[in-house]
Amino acid sequence: MSWYYIEGILIQSCYTLLIVLGLSILTGYTGMFSFGHAGFVCIGAYVSVLCTMGFGLPYWLALLIAGLTAMVFGAGLGKITLGLKGDYFCIATLGVGEAIRLIFNNLNLNLNIGGKSFILDGAKGIASIPLHTTFPIALVIVVFFLTATALLMKSKHGRNMLAVREDELAAQMCGINTFRSKMLAMCMSALYAGIAGGMLAHYFGYLQPKMFLMTKSTEYTIMVIFGGMGSITGSVLGTVLLCALPELLRAVGDWRLVFYGLAVIVIMIVRPKGLMGGKEITDLKWFKAIVRLFKGKKKEQQPPPDEGEKPGEEAQA
Amino acid sequence: MKDITFKHHDPDVVLSLWHATKRFGGLTAVGDVSFRVRKGEIYALIGPNGAGKTTIFNLITGVYSLTEGRILFNGTVIAQGENIIKDDMRETEVKPFKKKPYDIMSRGIARTFQNIRLFKSETVYNNVLTACHAEADYNIFQSLWRFKKGPKWLTKYARQEEALRQKTEELLKIMGIWQYRDMVAVNLPYGQQRKLEIARALATDPQLLLLDEPAAGMNPEETMALMQLIREIRDRFDLTVLIIEHHMDLVMNVSDRIFVLNFGKPLAEGTPAEIQSNPDVIEAYLGKEEDADGNA
């Protein structure tokens, strides 16, 4: 395997991770299943290409605009659909995701921007997009968002989202504005997907609406569930494994998708809550042990645990 | 939407229901119920199953909208039904409305549920920490940096989060469930889950606490301990408590005043002693007394 090939898989993993991270906020943390995320990625991809090729804007600005456009769209969609419960929300996103793809499939544009013409030719898509997405750039972006998400989820805003997932009525009864929490999750999720769309477009160098089929949306959702709902570590693991797996299985030709499906089924049977089961890497015993090893001396200064307090004793009281 | 507040409202009354009626289709779940809960009081709602007690809680907390009547919290209208029934309150032109549950709850009401509704797969500690959210007002961006020292806007997260954690610890210790803090809520023993739910309710700094059958599923000793606890938290947090309960021992001992409902209709109101000797209440609970011949 050449480095070029491996780099390709890594870049793909990076932008997929960004999408899955966003979806993890919406599905894993807030408990709302979305099957239309490819739609947001699609919007991000097209907007970013319009920015770089049409308006000649720099790559980073194009990504930002792509993300914000997707976010505005997500907010609008959220305003309409966030009142829906469970399955209904799921169906609504599914419909919207497909609708977005079909719009781009039938959209014929011939824009004349400052003398340059920008042609969007429906299902034929766009070719010869500048290849700006390199592995270092993709890695920096994804690590930035990974850190931001991890920090945010440990804050009040993340806890409110979790409360919505656990029990929406109880969350409301704690004075949590559940609509606002859901809207925040939706906006962040769309923002991430939009940016990832821009990265995707500038990695492949061409763009076609059929790159954003509904199967893509389900694939992202599978990655979230595979890694474990409500776990960022899980999303990372799920994405990297499920991105690499089809490539590793290239040897078996067309059978690889069968093996892919089998692998997902086996994991869901062995670990029904996903790989990480809602836990973060920092919650794991071996990780704590390693941290303790590094901080060896600090441990001794900590006060001993409260004496005489064992779970179970109080139960009879 | 602007608040409608009554200026001449008795400041001693925390919650008042005015001819509150709730109909589901043709069924009247709550019919023409009026009562006032005074500050610092433990007020009990009792009645046979299906009498509409929990419906009243749902009306107060904004889960259901009122069909008729009006509910006031500290003199502010939080729910308004279709028809305003003329009463001694000044007539005000308002359309029917209902405030959003989170809005009502953040005004100083907290509740527990008949069938416990915890954040099940979260730890005991996080359950209470989540409910403390109202005291922290850092925004999304401020939660991305955690500086302990520096200008105010940089340290907001660290300062507020520290305060939340202290409050959570204090609440869990008061309720006696601090040793369970790292357990997942759903694995707690039943009685402790009830306590956790009360702790979570207290975390929102309420003035009025609504307890929906807090002693359900508890043995007599646990019930007595709970009774003590309810009084303690009332005094400690300066609360007004509205309680639904079936354990008559608990109700008669703990409450200052009792309101009896039967089939959604008000039956009686008074002190525990008055209620115990009220013939209507005895009839509703035990059936009509029969004489030796078997005639009612």
Find, among A46, A49, A44, A23, the residue nearest to A219 by Cα. A23
When CB atoms are compared, the residue of B63, B100, B126 closest to A159 is: B126
Boundary of a domain, candidates B136, B170, B204? B204
* Full domain range(s) for residue B33: 1-108+206-296
Residues of A in contact with B131 (CB under 8 A): 174-175
A119-123, A182-186, B44-48, B265-269 — which one is most confidently predicted on average?
Answer: A182-186
Find, among B88, B69, B86, B67, the residue nearest to B77 by Cα. B69
Q: Which residue has the higher pLDDT, B63 or B81?
A: B63
Whether residue B229 is found in the same domain as residue B171? no
Say if residues A205 and A133 touch (Cβ distance below 8 Å). no
pLDDT score at B172: 93
Residues of A in contact with B158 (CB under 8 A): none
Specify the DSSP element, H or E, that contains B15.
strand B13-24
Say if residues A145 and A18 touch (Cβ distance below 8 Å). yes
Q: Which residue has the higher pLDDT, B51 or B82?
A: B51
Whether residue B33 is found in the same domain as residue B74? yes
Whether residue B132 is found in the same domain as residue B268? no
Q: What's chain B's average pLDDT?
A: 86
Tell me the per-residue pLDDT of B159-190, one tens digit each, with 9 for 90 and over.
899 999 999 999 999 988 999 989 999 999 88
CA distance A255 to B162: 54
Tell me whether residues B179 and A309 touch, CB distance under 8 A.
yes
In a domain, B42, yes or no: yes
Whether residue B188 is found in the same domain as residue B230? no
Listed in sequence order, the residues at least 6 apart from B187 whose beta carbon sits closer than 8 Å to its beta carbon are none
In a domain, B98, yes or no: yes
Name which of B140, B164, B221 to mutate to probe chain A: the one with the most chain A Cβ atoms within 10 A of its Cβ: B140
- Tell me the shortest Cα–Cα distance from A163 to chain B, in angstroms: 6
Q: Which residue of B has its CA nearest to A174?
A: B131
Q: Please identify among residues 200-219 of chain B the ones whose CB lies closer than 8 Å to any CB of chain A.
A: 200-201, 203-204
Specify the DSSP element, H or E, that contains A143.
helix A135-153
The mean per-residue pLDDT over the stretch A1-21 comes to: 90
If one counts the domains in chain B, the total is: 2
- Residue A282, CA atoms < 13 Å, CB-side half-sphere: 5
The mean per-residue pLDDT over the stretch A229-248 comes to: 88
The structural domains of chain A, with segments of one domain joined by +, span 3-224
Tell whether the model's pLDDT for residue A125 goes beyond 80. Answer: yes
* A309 confidence band (pLDDT: 50, 70, 90): very low
Boundary of a domain, candidates B141, B175, B204? B204
Whether residue B50 is found in the same domain as residue B75? yes
pLDDT score at A299: 47
Residues of A in contact with B102 (CB under 8 A): 172, 175-178
Tell me the per-residue pLDDT of B113-166, one tens digit each, with 9 for 90 and over.
988 999 998 999 999 999 998 888 888 888 888 888 878 878 888 889 999 999
ipTM of the complex as predicted? 0.87
CA distance B81 to A160: 31
* B89 confidence band (pLDDT: 50, 70, 90): low
The mean per-residue pLDDT over the stretch A18-22 comes to: 95
Whether residue B86 is found in the same domain as residue B28? yes
pLDDT score at A122: 80
When CB atoms are compared, the residue of B61, B100, B140 closest to A157 is: B140
Place of tokens 């279709």: B82
A175-184, A291-300, B62-71, B250-259 — which one is most confidently predicted on average?
Answer: A175-184
Tell whether the model's pLDDT for residue B206 goes beyond 90. Answer: yes
Tell me the per-residue pLDDT of A215-230, one tens digit each, with 9 for 90 and over.
899 999 999 988 888 8
pLDDT score at B91: 59
Say if B177 is an interface residue toward chain A (CB within 8 Å): yes
Whether residue B86 is found in the same domain as residue B5? yes
Tell me whether residues A173 and B110 touch, CB distance under 8 A.
yes
Considering only CA atoms, give the Rg of chain B: 21
Q: Is the pTM of this model over 0.90?
A: no
CA distance A154 to A158: 6
Tell me whether residues B189 and A315 touch, CB distance under 8 A.
yes
Tell me whether residues A155 and B177 touch, CB distance under 8 A.
no
Tell me whether residues A166 and B119 touch, CB distance under 8 A.
yes
Tell me whether residues A169 and B117 touch, CB distance under 8 A.
yes
A56-65, B81-90, B262-271 — which one is most confidently predicted on average?
Answer: A56-65
* B94 confidence band (pLDDT: 50, 70, 90): low
Residues of A in contact with B144 (CB under 8 A): 148, 151-152
Tell me whether residues B179 and A306 touch, CB distance under 8 A.
yes
CB pairs under 8 A between A and B: 105
pLDDT score at B93: 58
CA distance A166 to A198: 33
Whether residue B72 is found in the same domain as residue B143? no
CATH number of the domain that residue B182 is part of: 3.40.50.300
Residue B148: Cβ within 10 Å count: 10
pLDDT score at B295: 56
- Tell me the shortest Cα–Cα distance from B294 to chain A, in angstroms: 46
In a domain, B113, yes or no: no
Tell me whether residues A159 and B102 touch, CB distance under 8 A.
no
Q: Packing angle between helix A135-153 and helix A156-166, nearest 10 degrees? A: 70
pLDDT score at B166: 93
Boundary of a domain, candidates B204, B234, B251? B204
